[in-house]
Amino acid sequence: MNKTKEEILDAALNLFSQKGFSTVSIRDICSVVNIKESTVYYHFQNKEAILNEILKQFENHSESLIAKMSSAFPALMSDPQAIEKLLPKIMNEYIDGYLTDPFCNKVIRILSIDQLNNPKVHQMYSFWLFEKPLEIQQFVFSIFNNAGIISCDDPAFAAEKFYSPFFFCLSRYLISGELTQEKIGIFKKSIFRHIEEHLR
Amino acid sequence: MNKTKEEILDAALNLFSQKGFSTVSIRDICSVVNIKESTVYYHFQNKEAILNEILKQFENHSESLIAKMSSAFPALMSDPQAIEKLLPKIMNEYIDGYLTDPFCNKVIRILSIDQLNNPKVHQMYSFWLFEKPLEIQQFVFSIFNNAGIISCDDPAFAAEKFYSPFFFCLSRYLISGELTQEKIGIFKKSIFRHIEEHLR
Amino acid sequence: MNKTKEEILDAALNLFSQKGFSTVSIRDICSVVNIKESTVYYHFQNKEAILNEILKQFENHSESLIAKMSSAFPALMSDPQAIEKLLPKIMNEYIDGYLTDPFCNKVIRILSIDQLNNPKVHQMYSFWLFEKPLEIQQFVFSIFNNAGIISCDDPAFAAEKFYSPFFFCLSRYLISGELTQEKIGIFKKSIFRHIEEHLR
Amino acid sequence: MNKTKEEILDAALNLFSQKGFSTVSIRDICSVVNIKESTVYYHFQNKEAILNEILKQFENHSESLIAKMSSAFPALMSDPQAIEKLLPKIMNEYIDGYLTDPFCNKVIRILSIDQLNNPKVHQMYSFWLFEKPLEIQQFVFSIFNNAGIISCDDPAFAAEKFYSPFFFCLSRYLISGELTQEKIGIFKKSIFRHIEEHLR
DNA sequence: GATGAATGAGTGTTCATTCAT
DNA sequence: TATGAATGAACACTCATTCAT
């Protein structure tokens, strides 16, 4: 991709994730990238198109991450005991490659800020922060249940229970305010404690 | 308070909670209240002052609710077994008089939408959605621990664990999208199941 | 009506009739009226609304002129010989109060300039420059024919024949280029000669 | 001429004649021709130059048509009775090769749309729609008068009278709105009736 | 209490044009 | 021949705010 176009996307990502789509002006973006406003319109049809490109990249990123994480499932199904070794690995991948990944973290912020103004964003927010994670976890709990490792009669509820601290800590430490290494540390410590507690 | 002023506040509350502070214009408010824009400036110094008044009312409401709910604590301390009878009552008060209360619910939406643009809102968001609820619950868990009803070596973590499903369901059912009776029903059912599970 | 609003309408009328609607900017209008651009939007919803107001005034003006001119018809029907006295009067009313009337002349220019870009303008152009004048003249020729004053088997064609020099001279002397007293003089001389010739 | 250049001219002709010069953007032209905007500037110095080239072609076309039509005059002067045979031929040539000719018709539209914004266009409009046709017809009427075929003491006025229905029908049927075969039919029928009527 | 009128600053966007490649 | 990239100037329009009445 073109260098300027990338810079625009990068600046937009940062600004949108800090102040929300509608509060950021094309001028704001341009003064970061150091180009003229009309230049933006050479690279993008309009302001919305910048957001859409960001969202598309996020969707690609998310989907490939899920694909990658899902590749561990077959192994799990044949040897469910592997969970104790695999789980931390998967969790770290999820946290480092998604929740705290600079790009994804910013998009997640955008999703949570702009969900109310933009139907498309709202749908993505619901999907990537509620539906998809719950679906995956519910699926995993079903497997474990079938394998006799755990007994849970309602995988959907189990998933909700398991995911709740995730969502809470995500909101509290990774989205609210600036993202610092310190906050990431607190987040990880807290989350892994919740996971341990849950597995007991 | 003056009738027009109240109508402005009411319209602003609705609009802010639907689209966020910066996306709502004075025009928008006026076309709901059916007054001219200049009239707003008779009642409020500026747009921000409208928001501030709403936030102040919310803070008053929240504090008096906490005071009310806290009044049950002394009784609990002398007879901790009363918890089983009191808990549902307190929870319903919290849900009906706060999370799903038309006024509070809207303000909570405002807090979550505008936390990133407005430092004051950010501080209130942190306080009322994270710090305060956790503080109270931590306090309650300490009492129970001291009373020997439950044994929890880390009340802070226990509070986080207890509050997480609350926050999750709040975000999922009470804030995202429009608030319907159906969603409130799902929220309550889900929350009470989490509470039960937790108490076991 | 408000003074500023009238000034805006007046400036817009002049500019639109000189350069066409889309070529005139709000800035152009403002620099004539000596107001800021935002002021225009206090008085009009948008640029198009200015044009629409002008067109509405024109339509009112045209309709009342027709009503006035038509009031002579009953007299004509009872005494068709009166035509020789009435005709010049009617014609002068039509020319002075319509074709060369400063307001109407400018609007007619607008109609002829912008007919291609604006469907509403196109429809008004067709109506006021083709359909309506022909309809009226056709009606008059019918009356005279029935009264035996003239014999014309096809009033529609007679009207077209009678109106053609009107339209030609209108286009040549009253619309093309600036409207001067000299041109009005040439127009009138030419038109009255055509009328005489026609009546013979 | 270069193929791309011709395509640009062709697209510009169509668009200018539909919406007027200033309303058509280089982008509009390019999206028809399927080239980039910068390419236009390889073939033309600027937007105006495209129009000028079109106008030059029109002028060449018009002049050669006149030359062709004028070649019949000497024959007419020696045998004025030939008029009855020649006239329809000349008229058809004028209508088919000029007024309804796809290229000329479009340019005539451009002339009538843009006469008010562009002095050069205004001059051409006056010349080709008023002065030249009247000059030619006046010349013809003089010949006939001198030859005793008709007696007209004012050939200029006769020309105006003869040309008026032409101009009217041209404006009404050939310029206003889209040009269809049906409209051409109505135009021809109407015009030939006017000519007949005139010759009687 | 309320409003009519005005405005300065800003917003997203379009356009003709340039120029190096 | 053609284009990718950029730009300055302009455009219609919005907004929070002011102030005299």
Contact A141, A159 (CB under 8 A): yes
pLDDT digits (tens, 9 = 90+) for C172-184: 999 998 999 999 9
Please say if the pLDDT value at position A121 is more than 90: yes
Q: Is the CB of B8 under 7 A from strand F?
A: no
Question: For the packed helices A3-19 and A47-70, what is the interaxial angle rounded to 10 degrees?
Answer: 90
Please report the DSSP string for A14-39 in residue order: HHHHHH-GGGS-HHHHHHHHT--HHH
Q: What does the pLDDT read at residue C143?
A: 83
Positions of chain E reached by protein Cβ under 7 A: 1-20
What is the rounded CA–CA span in Å between residue A73 and residue A139? 10
Q: Apex CA B21: angle with CA B20 and CA B22, to 5°?
A: 100
Mean pLDDT, to the nearest integer, of A152-160? 91
- Residue A5 falls within a domain, yes or no? no
What is the rounded CA–CA span in Å between residue D200 and residue D195? 9
- Residue B58 falls within a domain, yes or no? yes
- Residue B20 falls within a domain, yes or no? no
pLDDT digits (tens, 9 = 90+) for A82-120: 777 888 888 898 999 999 999 999 999 999 999 999 999
pLDDT digits (tens, 9 = 90+) for D188-199: 999 999 998 887
Which residues 36-75 on A are within 7 A of strand E at the CB atom?
37-38, 40-41, 45-48
Positions of chain F reached by protein Cβ under 7 A: 1-20
Judging contacts by C-beta atoms under 8 Å, the chain C residues touching residue D164 are: 164-165, 167-169, 194
Mean pLDDT, to the nearest integer, of B154-170? 94
Please report the DSSP string for B53-78 in residue order: HHHHHHHHHHHHHHHHHHTTHHHHHH
What is the rounded CA–CA span in Å between residue D90 and residue D68? 10
Chain D interface, best mutation among C108, C135, C171, C193, by max D CB count within 10 A: C171
pLDDT digits (tens, 9 = 90+) for D124-141: 999 999 999 999 999 888
- Residue D20 falls within a domain, yes or no? no
Mean pLDDT, to the nearest integer, of B84-88? 80
Residue type, B68: K
Please say if the pLDDT value at position D44 is more than 80: yes
Do C163 and D168 lie within an 8 Å CB cutoff? yes
Instruction: For residue B25, report the phi and psi dihedrals to the nearest 5 degrees.
Output: -100, 160
Do A161 and B165 lie within an 8 Å CB cutoff? yes
Residue with tokens 């040009």: D179
pLDDT digits (tens, 9 = 90+) for D63-115: 999 998 888 777 777 776 777 778 888 888 899 999 999 999 999 999 999 99
Give, in order, the Cα–Cα distances in Å from B142 to each of B77, B157, B186, B198: 11, 11, 30, 16
Q: Which nucleotide is nearest to D3 (CA to C1')?
A: F1
How many other CB atoms are there within 10 angstroms of residue B47's CB atom? 17
C1' (F21) to CA (B39) span, angstroms: 14
Instruction: For residue B45, report the phi and psi dihedrals to the nearest 5 degrees.
Output: -65, -40
- Residue D31 falls within a domain, yes or no? no
CA-wise closest residue to A98 among A121, A72, A132: A132
CA-wise closest residue to A65 among A87, A95, A88: A95
C1' (E10) to CA (B120) span, angstroms: 25
CA-wise closest residue to C47 among C67, C72, C70, C27: C27
Q: Which residue of C has its CA nearest to D22?
A: C23
CA-wise closest residue to D146 among D55, D80, D52, D59: D80
Which residues 24-43 on C are within 7 A of strand F at the CB atom?
24-28, 37-38, 41
Q: Which residue of D has its CA nearest to C115?
A: D176
Please say if the pLDDT value at position B165 is more than 90: yes
Which residues 152-181 on D are within 7 A of strand E at the CB atom?
none
Judging contacts by C-beta atoms under 8 Å, the chain B residues touching residue A126 are: 176-177
Mean pLDDT, to the nearest integer, of A184-189? 95
Do C22 and D18 lie within an 8 Å CB cutoff? no
Judging contacts by C-beta atoms under 8 Å, the chain B residues touching residue A190 are: 160
Confidence of residue B194 (pLDDT cuts 50, 70, 90): very high
Do C122 and D177 lie within an 8 Å CB cutoff? yes
Q: How far is D49 from chain C (nearest CA, A)?
A: 19
Q: Which of A112, A117, A157 sits opposite B23 (nearest CB)?
A: A117
Q: What is the DSSP letter of D151?
A: -
Contact C138, C152 (CB under 8 A): no
Chain CA centroid to CA B134, Å: 13
Q: What does the pLDDT read at residue D69?
A: 85
- Residue C38 falls within a domain, yes or no? no
- Residue B98 falls within a domain, yes or no? yes
Do D20 and C20 lie within an 8 Å CB cutoff? yes
Contact A171, B112 (CB under 8 A): no
Do A177 and B122 lie within an 8 Å CB cutoff? yes
Reading the block at residue C122, the tokens are 């196109």
* DSSP collapsed to 3 states, D95-137: HHHHHCCHHHHHHHHHHHHHCCCCHHHHHHHHHHHHHHHHHHH
Q: What is the dihedral of CA A27, A29, A35, A36, to 10 degrees?
A: -20
* Total number of domains constituting chain D: 1
Residue range of the domain that includes A169:
53-198
Instruction: For residue C187, report the phi and psi dihedrals to the nearest 5 degrees.
Output: -55, -50
Chains touching D (at least 3 CB pairs under 8 A) are C
Helix (H) or strand (E) holding B94: helix B83-94
Please state which of the ranges A186-190, D51-55, D83-87, D119-123 shows the lowest mean pLDDT: D83-87
- Residue C15 falls within a domain, yes or no? no
Which residues 41-60 on B are within 7 A of strand F at the CB atom?
41, 45-48
Residue with more model confidence, C107 or D77: C107
Q: What does the pLDDT read at residue D122?
A: 96
Q: What does the pLDDT read at residue D77?
A: 73
Percent of chain A with pLDDT over 70: 100
What is the rounded CA–CA span in Å between residue A108 and residue A124? 9
